[in-house]
Structure 1
Amino acid sequence: MFSSFGLRAILKSSVGVLRESSGLYPAVSVRPWSCCASAQLAGAAASKDKGIFAVQPPVRHYARVAKTKKTGPESQLSDLPPTMLKMEYASVPLAQTTDDLVKRLLSLELASHKEKLQLKKEQLIAKVQRDENDRNSVEVQVAVLTARIRNYQDHLQKHHKDKANKRRMLMAIDRRKKLLKNLRLVHFDTFERVCEQLGITYTFPPEYYRRATRRWLAKKEFCIKVFKAVQKQKAEQNMKRQLSTTETKEAKAPEAQT
Structure 2
Amino acid sequence: MCNTVYLIKISGSFAIPPPVRHYARGPKIKKKAPEGLFSDLAPTMLKKEYADIPLAQTTDDLVKRLLSLEMASNTDKFRLKKEQLIAKVQRDEHDRSSVEVRVAVLTTRIRNLQEHLQKHHKDKANKRRMLMAIDQRKKLLKNLRLVHYDAFERVCSQLGITYTFPPEYYRRVSRRWKAKKQFSIKLYNAVQKQKAEQRQKMRQSLAATETEATEAKVTQ
* TM-score, scaled relative to structure 1: 0.57
User: Does the C-alpha gap of structure 1 residues 62 and 207 become closer, same or farther in structure 2, counting only changes over 3 Å?
Assistant: closer
Shift of 1:191: 0.2
Distance 1:100 1:200 in 2: 39
Distance 1:62 1:109 in 2: 46
Alignment pair present for 1:87 and 2:43: no
Q: Secondary structure at the match of 2:113?
A: helix
Alignment pair present for 1:122 and 2:83: yes
- Alignment match of 1:96 (pick from 57, 79, 102): 57
Moved more, 89-98 or 192-201: 89-98
Distance 1:205 1:63 in 2: 48
Give the aligned residue type for 2:142. Answer: K
- Give 1:143's aligned residue: 104
Distance 1:187 1:143 in 2: 16
Contact in 2 for aligned 1:72/1:157 (Cα 8 Å)? no
- Give 1:196's aligned residue: 157
Shift of 1:70: 2.0
- Alignment match of 1:110 (pick from 71, 92, 108): 71
**Identity, % of aligned positions:** 79
Aligned-residue RMSD, C-alpha: 2.2
Alignment pair present for 1:174 and 2:131: no
Larger radius of gyration: 1
Give the aligned residue type for 1:194. Answer: V
CA offset digits 1:6-42 (Å, max 9, x no partner): xxxxxxxxxxxxxxxxxxxxxxxxxxxxxxxxxxxxx
- How many corresponding residue pairs? 155
Give the aligned residue type for 1:148. Answer: R
Q: Please show how residues 224-243 of structure 1 align to structure 2 within 5 Å.
A: none
Q: Secondary structure at the match of 2:97?
A: coil
CA offset digits 1:106-127 (Å, max 9, x no partner): 1000000000001000000000
Distance 2:93 2:37 in 1: 24
Distance 2:153 2:29 in 1: 40
Shift of 1:74: 1.0
Shift of 1:96: 1.0
Structure 1's unaligned 5+ residue stretches are 1-60, 218-258
Q: Please show how residues 1-258 of structure 1 align to structure 2 within 5 Å.
A: 66-211=27-172
Moved more, 67-76 or 189-198: 67-76
Shift of 1:65: 5.4
- Give 1:52's aligned residue: none
User: Does the C-alpha gap of structure 1 residues 207 and 107 become closer, same or farther in structure 2, counting only changes over 3 Å?
Assistant: same
Distance 2:102 2:159 in 1: 12
Shift of 1:66: 4.4
Q: Secondary structure at the match of 2:40?
A: coil
User: Does the C-alpha gap of structure 1 residues 207 and 66 become closer, same or farther in structure 2, counting only changes over 3 Å?
Assistant: same
Structure 2's unaligned 5+ residue stretches are 1-21, 181-220
Distance 1:99 1:112 in 2: 21
